[in-house]
Amino acid sequence: MMLSPDQAEADLSWTQSDPETLLNGLKSAGCASDEPTESEPDRAKCKSEQPLSREEKRRRRRATAKYRSAHATRERIRVEAFNVAFAELRKLLPTLPPDKKLSKIEILRLAICYISYLNHVLDV
């Protein structure tokens, strides 16, 4: 919600500085008091709370250190396999000098040219 500069703060109910008024507003919205309940001693519970959506559950699961660590491991393995595939492709391509270091894009471009050349040789 965008506020215009000429809008008075008195128009906004959330800007009230009286804590009692804010607490009454929360209670009327269906939230329990700030006293801990027996079933949940750590926090107060709001009655209108919805069950977590699938996206929210996924977000919370991804926020754990265990998930991040497993994801990093999977990504490391994926990148390593990708680099091995490029190294294998590089071994098949003729270059001068043979041990010349090529970037991935250079390897791909050289492979395209080499495949085109081999097709031309077969056609002749």
pLDDT in tens, 10-31: 444 444 445 555 555 555 555 5
Q: Is 66 exposed, middle or buried (0-12, 13-18, 19+ CB in 10 A)?
A: exposed
Higher pLDDT, 124 or 31: 124
Three-state DSSP class for 16? coil
Instruction: Return all residues near 3 (Cβ < 8 A) that are at least 6 apart.
Output: 12
Q: Is the pTM higher than 0.75?
A: no
* CA pair distance 76, 83, nearest whole angstrom: 11
* CA pair distance 57, 55, nearest whole angstrom: 5
Condensed to tens digits (0 to 9), the pLDDT of residues 28-47 reads: 555 545 555 555 555 545 54
Count CA within 13 A, CB hemisphere, residue 57: 5
